[in-house]
Homo-oligomer: A and B are copies of this chain.
Amino acid sequence: MSSRIGRLLSVQIFGESHGPAVGVVLDGLPAGLRLDMEAVRAHLRRRAAAGSAIATPRREADEPRVLSGLKHGVTTGQPLCAVFENANTHSSDYAFLPDRPRPGHADYPAWVRSAGHDDLDGGGHHSGRLTLPHAFAGAVALECLRGQGVRVAAHVLSVGEESDRPLDALAPDMDALEACRALPVPTLDAKAGERMYQAIVEARAQGDSLGGEVEVAAVGMPAGWGAPYFEGVEAVAAAQLFSIPAVKGVAFGAGFAAARMRASAYNDPYDVVDGRVVTTRNSAGGLLGGLTNGMPVLARVAFRPTPSISLEQRTVSLSRMEPAALSVRGRHDPCVAVRAVPVVEGALALALMELWLERRATLPGGNA
């Protein structure tokens, strides 16, 4: 059940990169949520990054075929299934599989796990192609949360050595985040994005790839969503974010920098503004012990460089059990962090959606 998550909102993805289709089933959506399918498509187009010189040349329509759960654009409260056909597959690019697994990719352990039965072409079920149905689910969650006054948006914080300016923790500029979606590399500082773009183009020209970071913010949640421990916002969001292929690190608020701080500098003092409890710092990234405190939620996500590169690498031949060389042709992004921006937004939105439903279920006000 590796590809399913969610206790209140179940998200089940399926499909292989070179199979007939990929898709997702969302179960647990309330009835009566209007989905703006144009907004959903726009979200998926950002992930597709079609035509961008720094995205994979693989071309897919990425048009969701909604098989169930929607009527007149409104959720019915029954499972919502969306399917995306795979059209543009080049399995011949993967003739080296399964014999010579790609360094940095799941080929080898997937082959072991399945005793050779897994479909590895194009990465199979492990492919970044699966972020398409994941992003669709995320887009649905984003639409639902919008109806609750919650906004989620992200930008590329760094690519290799180039960095964008980080968000203001107390008041992340959500409008600016949404505006920069039009850029080839969505950054608050357009110049930073251009430098990142150049760095990516260069790395690719050298047969190499780059890692990067995405920073994401969510605003509009009241205090008290989430729970301590295993279903805290951090735990639920991290499970979502680490599910995105290539993610190696997740941090909230001050994150790893918090480890170098003293409480006197880290703790977020409270104040009352306009009759509302707020904090005057936001080191915690809006999260205290698994719970939202009403301040903006901020997270950073680290992506490793794309493993498939054309530079020759050392691998092994599994049939001969001897060293071998490998140079991957295929079609790959030279920096997955860029196209991952909407996927990260969606992943955080799915976590928040889960906790919104949980909050509704456990709202106090029974008989006491």
Contacts and interface: CB of A to CB of B under 8 A. Distances in A.
B31 A256 contact: no
A235 to B, nearest CB: 4
B119 A269 contact: no
Contacts of A74: 117, 368
Contacts of A115: 31-32, 364-365
A161 interface: yes
Contacts of A8: 1, 7-8, 361
Given A243-B290, A357-B361, 16 more contacts: A11-B230, A20-B67, A30-B363, A30-B364, A30-B365, A71-B118, A76-B114, A103-B267, A105-B289, A148-B366, A160-B262, A230-B240, A235-B243, A248-B258, A263-B311, A271-B323
Interface stretch (A164-172, A175-183, A278-286): A278-286
Interface stretch (A40-48, A51-59, A219-227): A219-227
Contacts of A209: 262-263
Contacts of A23: 67-68, 81
A234 interface: yes
A92 interface: no
A81 B115 CA distance: 21
A109 B235 contact: no
A248 B259 CA distance: 8
B14 A304 contact: no
The copy count of this chain in the complex is: 4
A101 interface: yes
A95 interface: no
A75 B243 contact: no
Interface in A3-34: 3-16, 19-23, 25, 27-34
A260 B160 contact: yes
Interface in A179-236: 203, 208-213, 222-232, 234-236
A253 interface: yes
A258 B305 contact: yes
A261 B103 contact: no
Nearest to A261: B211
A303 interface: yes
A256 B364 contact: no
Contact of A258 (B31, B109, B302, B318): B302
B229 A113 contact: no
Nearest to A312: B264
Contacts of A275: 321
A71 B15 CA distance: 12
Contacts of A341: none
A1 B231 contact: yes
Q: Nearest 8 CB-CB pairs, A to B?
A: A147-B367, A2-B227, A106-B289, A249-B251, A32-B364, A269-B314, A109-B291, A5-B230
Given A109-B293, A268-B103, A262 B305 contact: yes
Interface in A63-120: 65-69, 71, 74-81, 83, 101, 103-106, 108-110, 112-115, 117-119
